[in-house]
Chain A
Amino acid sequence: MTPALSRIWFALVTVFVAATINFFLFRVMPGNAVSALRCRACTPQLREALLNRYGLDAPLPEQFVRYLGQLARGDLGISIASGRPVWQEITGPLLNTLPMLIAGTLIALVLGVISGVVSSWRRGTALDAASQWTSLACYAMPTQWIGLLVLFYVAAAVGLPAAGIQSATLGVLGDASMWDVLADRTAHLILPALTLGIGSYGQYAIIMRSAMLDTLGEDYILTARAKGLRDRDILRYHAFGNAMLPMVTMVALSAGSIVAGAIVVEDVFSYPGIGFAAVDAIGKRDYPVLQGIFLLLTVAVVVANLIADLIYVRIDPRIRSGRVAVG
């Protein structure tokens, strides 16, 4: 198998493992899904019918095969709370989350790269120490707390909207144009994305710094210095590109933690994305929706990892063969 194919195979198996965990978590749960419905008034007949409807009366292996079959057809089951297909329940929130997630990651990446490059360049100085401590502190802060701080100190001062995804008044007086909607949504996006960025940039900064230091220790940097190049040129043309390599992997590996951050950030800012939907589902004990969200997030993270692996093979000529390298 070529490296690319083996990576794709690995990704597929990971998704399968996640689906399996999903299936068994749901089954080993104390009681079964119907008792989780808290259906106290149910007659035995109704209970029977419900069990039958959710396919819980079949033997376990048969249920498992049926579950996988449904998944393969993109059927994530039916929401207990609303009775609608889970897929319909989560696509809307997912589309809301994506821009926030991307903006947050970009902010984190820019902050992390700048902080890492600066502190490796000025290694051992007060600037390095300050930048390292700041990123470590941000790394150690719970993201939801950063969100609270932003709400508390920044939101009012800056005058940006801090809740929801769109102003309630928008489009009430006459039709809002597409640009108005876009501007309004962007304004609602800034604070959550900023929170997410501050909460996740620390790990990038630390990795970027050590990658830069590794690179700056190479002989070709010494050569460049001996040629009398300016620091700025050495950093930009000689060190930066090589130091960015580990960052590609880092971004993919951190996809999981960014998603986790997004969940709580959305909760803090009442941003109607996938995390908000998850919290809602937890509150209602709507297990099918919760499982659908978990599976979706897993697939997203696995795909991010896969893409990073493939890009890595592309941009680093030294790695053309070898097995899957994760972690």
Chain B
Amino acid sequence: MVALLAPVIAPTPVNTGFSNGFAAPTAAHPLGLDGGGFDVLTRLVHGAQTSLLVGTIAALVGMLIGGTVGFVAGYFGGRTDGVLMRITDYFLVIPDIPLMIVAAAVFGQSLTNIMIVIGLVYWASTARLIRAQVMSVRQRTFVTRVEAMGASPLFVLTRHVVPQVTPLLVANTVLMVANAIFAETYISFLGLGDPSVVSWGRMIQDALDQGAVVAGAWWVVLPPGLAVTLVVLAATIAGQGMEDTLNPRLKVGHLAARRFRVRPLHGALDRP
């Protein structure tokens, strides 16, 4: 993830074209050149910048909306909760990627728009999760006590509920980063990305459009997808791990791989 701050690492400026398309990897260009004659490693590093930026900002937007909705719905309950959760349910069911495609197509192809669109679409599951957690925290004794002492809702929310729920919110945001990076590859792949910026999604699209498959240029096909896979995998595992430690549900399995076996006294030696 250090690649985020390092256009410095890139061996050549991003828009420097070299003459021969699909040149195989050499010492000067460790990952070769793509169909347009650009250095693949350079584009990969710059793409990392874009993709991680989009992922992070979009996740933050989603967290802000989803978190707010979740806190308000979970804390105030009653009719507010009913209305907000209804809206959330609708957004959960509407297929997100097609909605993003339509929104991205309508609002135009700038990086900012894409980040906002992804964030706007991905808030619903966060809202649900946070609401559930807020509701359970609210039931706990220390919160009811503070309330009985006459604390205002705002005070209780900011001082007591938010700190309890924040770790879960952070874990969820990490998971959302993975989702958002994924969504960005979709949008860019469909030609709705920002045309002036290199991203991993765009590199995958270029690999297909420029015929890297026919040219047999594995060094163009593999890197961007591998990069996305690794980052999404890392974010998923990190987020999942955090979530698991935060609400531990220990379960025992009665069917284990290694198990005791009662051997019959006769004929036991015949069998391994």
Q: Which residues of A contact B (CB under 8 A)?
A: 10, 13-14, 17-18, 21-22, 25-26, 28-30, 120-125, 128, 136-137, 139-142, 144-146, 148-149, 151-152, 213-214, 216-218, 221-222, 225, 231, 234-235, 239, 255-257, 259-260, 263-264, 267-268, 278-279, 282-283, 285, 287, 290-291, 293-294, 297-298, 301-302, 305, 324, 326-327
Contact = CB atoms under 8 A, between A and B. Distances in A.
Contacts of B192: 282
B233 A298 contact: no
Nearest to B104: A282
Contact of B97 (A25, A146, A260): A260
B99 A122 contact: no
**For chain B, what secondary structure do more than half of its interface residues adopt (helix, strand, loop), or is it mixed?**
helix
A152 B221 CA distance: 9
B257 A124 contact: yes
B102 interface: yes
- By CB atoms of chain B within 10 A, which of A25, A152, A235 has the most? A152
Interface in B194-216: 201, 204-205, 207-208, 212-213
A282 B101 contact: yes
B98 A259 contact: yes
**For chain A, what secondary structure do more than half of its interface residues adopt (helix, strand, loop), or is it mixed?**
helix
21 contacts: A123-B256, A136-B237, A142-B182, A142-B186, A142-B189, A142-B229, A144-B186, A148-B221, A213-B253, A218-B254, A221-B254, A221-B255, A222-B254, A225-B254, A235-B255, A255-B95, A256-B98, A260-B96, A264-B186, A264-B189, A327-B124
Nearest to B189: A144
A18 B233 contact: no
B136 to A, nearest CB: 17
B25 to A, nearest CB: 16
A30 B108 contact: yes
A279 B106 CA distance: 14
A287 B105 contact: yes
B165 interface: no
B49 to A, nearest CB: 18
- By CB atoms of chain B within 10 A, which of A120, A142, A225 has the most? A142
A228 B89 CA distance: 46
